[in-house]
Amino acid sequence: MEKVVIIRYAEIHLKGKNRGFFERVFIINLERALKGIRHELHRTSGRYLVEKFDTARYEEIMERVLRVFGVHSCSEGLLVPNDMDSIFEAAKCVAPAGGTFKVETHRADKKYPLTSMEVSAEIGGRLLAHNRALKVDVHDPAARVYIDVRENGTALVYCSSRLGAGGMPVGTAGTGLLLLSGGIDSPVAGYMMAKRGMTVEVLHFHSYPYTNDGAKEKVQELAALLSQYTLVERLRCVNVAHIQEEIHKKCAADLNVTLLRRFMFRIAERIAAKVGAQCLVTGESLGQVASQTVEGLTSSNSVVALPVLRPLIGFDKEEIIERAKKIGTYDTSVLPFEDCCTVFLPEHPAIRPKLSYIEEEEAKLDVEALIEDALKTLEFIRL
């Protein structure tokens, strides 16, 4: 009798002839998530089993696996030979001490000599005889004992499941470059795109010395938290303080944020080309701040050829906060450190600026030189 973690995948079973590709990426991601923990990972017809691990690290294994996109659910189970005596011994270990219960059996091995109903009836009867405090309730039991008879002469016995992250395995839906700020929104946006299978690379813009090391460390912590889901291994940082100084010195004050966003998008597009990203990803939500009106978003889009994905575009702030708390980034996001967008923030930012007005003000700047200077500040931080 061996303790195992049973992993079931989510949408992968819908992929038909392409399922093999998604399963290969899925198992790579599971192995990456379990790096540093002694284990063996085996596939068995729609299931993955984590075996031969230190049982003291069971909870850590579960937490890591449940964060892997593509995981529908996990169970702590017992792996035993598929004879009835072995199954019964395992069932005794997972069955409740008392109350109502039901035994449910699934047979992957259709050649097994007993039907699913017969297995359930046999094991249920033995459990009743073994423990008088138990009572069968097939309609609304307080607990269920699950038996999964596999094709290789084994059976899995367990009593409960925990829901995983769902979605698709990271690495099956292209690559996006996330513009990660120190706020609440962008980590959630990165999470949501990774959940749909996208590989999410991360870029952060800072304004040192106007912002301090604490602000940068905060973003590094956010990237590290996000990496538990996205599997990203490093954070890219670019200093845009000199760009902000030039905008503040030469351009209309109400366009400070709008013009900075246009520079960010241009720089991000160039970095995206180097990392093979096919789109940019931002945490923008329509109407949330002055730069996130349709006119402001259009202004940013107009300077890049890459598509810009905004998974939070229709969310209100409370919905975003709820998701941030769920994925564990909220407490870090609300730490009181400024990000670059709050530097030189105008008292009355333009809400619906005309593109012609934006371009007229931007013409006062040496755009290409400022971008080249910013790219020279690019640094990498390993997570």
Dihedral over Cα of 297, 298, 302, 304: its sign: positive
Residue spans per domain, the chain: 2-163, 175-382
Q: What is the pLDDT of residues 266-278, one digit of tens each?
A: 999 999 999 999 9
Give the helix ranges, DSSP H, for 34-99. 58-66, 84-94
Q: Give the mean pLDDT of 341-356.
A: 78
Q: Does the N-terminal peptide bond of residue 209 adopt cis geometry, omega within 30 degrees of 0?
A: yes
- The H helix count followed by the E strand count for the chain is 13, 15
Indicate the CATH number for domain 2-163.
Answer: 3.30.2130.30
User: Helices 256-275 and 367-375 meet at what angle, rounded to 10?
Assistant: 50
pLDDT at position 63, please?
Answer: 95
Distance CA 77, CA 159 (A): 8
Q: Where do runs of H (alpha helix) occur along 276-337?
A: 294-301, 317-327, 330-333
Query: Cβ neighbours of residue 182 under 8 Å, at least 6 residues apart?
Result: 215, 218, 219, 222, 333, 335, 337, 338, 339
Do 122 and 132 form a contact (C-beta atoms < 8 A)? no
Q: Which two tokens stand for residue 202?
A: 């991360």
325 vs 319: CA distance, rounded Å: 10
Q: Please check the confidence at residue 81 and state whether its pLDDT lies above 90.
A: yes
Mean pLDDT value across residues 92-118: 94
Nearest to 204 by CA among 172, 228, 226: 226
Residue bearing the bigger pLDDT, 47 or 346: 47
Mean pLDDT, residues 31-54 taken together: 92
Specify the pLDDT at position 252: 95
Question: CB–CB of 272/306 below 8 Å?
Answer: yes
pLDDT score for 342: 61
State how far the Cα of 44 lies from the Cα of 28, in Å rounded to an integer.
Answer: 16
Question: Which pLDDT score is estimated for 341?
Answer: 61
User: Any residues with CB less than 8 A from the CB of 220 and at least 6 apart, and which?
Assistant: 235, 381, 383
CB atoms within 10 A of CB 131: 15
Quote the mean pLDDT of the chain: 94
Predicted confidence band at 213 (pLDDT cuts at 50, 70, 90)? confident
Pairwise CA distance, residues 27 & 67, whole Å: 14
pLDDT of 154 above 80 = yes
Amino acid at 124: G
d(CA 341, CA 361) in angstroms, rounded, equals 19
Query: Is the pLDDT assigned to residue 45 strictly greater than 90?
Result: no
Which top CATH class is 175-382?
alpha beta
Strand, coil or helix: 205: strand
Task: Report the pLDDT value the prediction gives residue 338, as an integer from 0 to 100.
Answer: 66
3-state secondary structure of 342: helix
Write out pLDDT tens, residues 328-340.
999 999 998 766 6
Q: How confident is the model at residue 344, as a pLDDT?
A: 67
Rg, the chain, Cα only: 27
pLDDT digits (tens, 9 = 90+) for 198-211: 999 999 999 988 88
What distance lies between CA 156 and its chain's CA centroid? 29
Q: What pLDDT is attached to residue 44?
A: 82
CA torsion, points 367, 368, 373, 375, in degrees to nearest 10? 110
Measured CA to CA, the distance from residue 197 to residue 90 in angstroms comes to 37
Query: Mind listing the pLDDT tens digit for each residue in 295-343?
Result: 999 999 999 999 999 999 999 999 999 999 999 999 999 998 766 666 6
**C-alpha closest to that of 44 among 94, 3, 5:** 5
Kindly report the pTM of this predicted structure: 0.89
User: Tell me, what's the pLDDT at 10?
Assistant: 87
Contact 60, 50 (CB under 8 A): no
Q: Which two tokens stand for residue 227?
A: 């990496």
Q: Which pLDDT belongs to residue 340? A: 60
Identify which of 288, 319, 277, 244 has the alpha carbon closest to the alpha carbon of residue 178: 277
172 close to 200: Cβ distance less than 8 angstroms: no
List CB contacts of 50: < 8 A, sequence separation 6 or more: 4, 5, 7, 34, 39, 40, 41, 61, 65
